[in-house]
Amino acid sequence: MTRIPSGWSRRTFLRSALATGALVVPGSGVLVGCATSGGGQEQTEGEVSDDNPLGVPTDSPLEIYIFNGGFGDKYATDVHEPMYKEKYPNAEIKHKAEVDIAGALQSRFVAGNPPDFVNNSGDGQIPLGQLVSDKQLYSLADLFDAPSWDDPSKKVRDTLVPGAVEEGTFGDTPYALHLALTIYGLWYNKALFDQHGWTPPTTWAEMTDLCKEIKGAGIAPWTYQGVHARYMTWPLLTMAAKHAGEDVLKAIDNLEEGAWAHEAIKESANALAGLKRSGFILEGTEGMDHIQAQGAWCEGKAAFVPCGSWLESEQVDVTPEGFEFAFMPEPVLSEDSALPKETLRATAGEPYVVPAAAKNPRGGLEYMRIMLSKEGARGFTEEVSSLTVVQGAADGLQLKPGLTSAQDALKTAGDNVINWRYQTWYQSMWNPGINAHIGDLLAGRMSVDEFSTACEAEAKKIRDDDSITKYTR
């Protein structure tokens, strides 16, 4: 598989090729023409009817790429693809599972011959903002305005939870479908807490007192995914927003000067950095990846770990008998917080896109419509133990204890649900940018003020780069 030449950033690789209209594939000596926004590709479209509202060519092949990560690809091969095949028996489905989506597909995007449907996820994700600004993605507007699979009297968009469409929208156009509904917070072993009589804290003062007690019992209070320190930006921003209100997050998303220097950001950063200063973090955490840190937590070496609601599914093969996954929102920094203690972050995640130059983009949209059916969403939840953005799809399902715990917390939060967009809009600001700095903060290599200044510099890079499209909310 062709790789990006050493020393090139993904943006340089894609934009340089697009600027010249051609790409020399490394190692091949072949000059490949570039087709953008579907140009240069034969895009067939079938007859629109009540049974085929998106005009799918019923006998055209559909090429699908699925990220082979925490969710695997069985939900595609065992649920969604059979549903598509049942409706379009003459359409051949070409399925491929990949760990590194960029490594597998970036050159195909540039060459103008991408697949019809891509699960653009994982560490090898092609930045969505980059794909959008380079006009490499097909608009999903027709999908969301199409009749839903289950009830033709409802549009697809009206069957989804609030914010689901907006999560994949850039400017006024939706370009990505985020299927998984992820709830973010802190996780603990309820069986361990019951054994010791520990109560999950709701304030940071309670957290500090409990950490002392946990440490006294010979257990590290916290661990985190050290190599992927971005996991700790989630409690950082959530606690800051709970402390001072959601405008803190909007300022960050809008690249406002001084957003990362807000007092709430600094207070939250100081609280998390204090875990290191107080010896509350499992020794060696800084060098652990997510598998090692979460594995140590499952072994009872640490009491808390930050993660999304995919955690239980991801740990299924290493969870000891008697372990009981339980979720809690991050504690508030003070009793007079702007948002209630129950406030949490939940967002549509796991992005799926249809490339602009796909040969069968209408088939890609129809595949998404299937995913957003009750049957498709329910099958996803059953297969990967994750909620979806489809309203009511999980009703009646016997969910695992951890997922049930997270879902209960979401119901308790009600309208007090927050999210931010900068990591989707400006991926380089997010990673390595802010993520590298949170790692330095937690390892004690950077003070809170230095962290704030470094994050401000990352935002300034994006703000001052005229080549990057800016978004606001």
Rounded-to-10 torsion of CA 15, 128, 460, 333 = -160
How many residues in the chain? Answer: 473
Q: Is 32 helix (H, G, I), strand (E, B) or coil?
A: strand
Return d(Cα 77, Cα 75) in angstroms, integer.
6
Per-residue model confidence (pLDDT) at position 44: 60
C-alpha closest to that of 114 among 63, 77, 148: 63
State percent of the chain over pLDDT 70: 91
Q: For the segment 158-178, what is each residue's pLDDT rounded down to a tens digit?
A: 999 988 999 999 999 999 999
Distant-in-sequence, close-in-space partners of 187: CB < 8 Å, separation ≥ 6: 297, 304, 305, 306, 307, 311, 325, 326, 327, 328, 402
Mean residue pLDDT across the chain: 90
Q: For the segment 314-354, what is each residue's pLDDT rounded down to a tens digit?
A: 898 999 999 999 999 999 999 999 999 999 999 999 999 99
Q: For the segment 237-288, what is each residue's pLDDT rounded down to a tens digit?
A: 999 999 999 999 999 999 999 999 999 999 999 999 999 999 999 999 999 9
Taking each helix axis from N to C terminus, what angle separates 263-277 and 448-464, rounded to the nearest 10 degrees? 130
- Full DSSP string of 377-394: HHHHHHHH--EESBTTTT
Asked if the bond preceding 432 is cis, omega within 30° of 0, the reply is: yes
Side chain identity, residue 333: L
Q: For the segment 355-383, what is each residue's pLDDT rounded down to a tens digit?
A: 999 999 999 999 999 999 999 999 999 99
State the number of CA atoms in the 13 A half-sphere of 159 facing the CB.
Answer: 28
C-alpha closest to that of 242 among 209, 280, 268: 268
Range with the poorest average pLDDT among 36-50, 58-72, 430-444: 36-50
Rounded-to-10 torsion of CA 304, 310, 311, 316 = 160
> The tokens of 124 are what?
């090898």
C-alpha closest to that of 280 among 210, 199, 193, 189: 210
Q: For the segment 446-465, what is each residue's pLDDT rounded down to a tens digit?
A: 999 999 999 999 999 999 99
Per-residue model confidence (pLDDT) at position 22: 34
Instruction: Say yes or no to pLDDT of 10 above 50.
Output: no
Segment 141-148 shows an average pLDDT of: 98
Q: Which residue has the higher pLDDT, 42 or 306?
A: 306
Parts of the chain belonging to CATH 3.40.190.10: 10-181+352-393, 184-346+420-464
The 8-class DSSP code of residue 200 comes to -
Q: For the segment 90-112, what is each residue's pLDDT rounded down to a tens digit?
A: 999 999 999 999 999 999 999 99
Per-residue model confidence (pLDDT) at position 46: 85
Is CATH 3.40.190.10 what the domain over 10-181+352-393 is classified as, yes or no?
yes
Superfamily for 184-346+420-464? Answer: Periplasmic binding protein-like II (3.40.190.10)
Question: Quick check: pTM over 0.75?
Answer: yes
The answer to whether the beta carbons of residues 206 and 214 sit under 8 Å apart is no
Q: For the segment 210-244, what is each residue's pLDDT rounded down to a tens digit?
A: 999 999 999 999 999 999 999 999 999 999 999 99
Per-residue model confidence (pLDDT) at position 43: 57
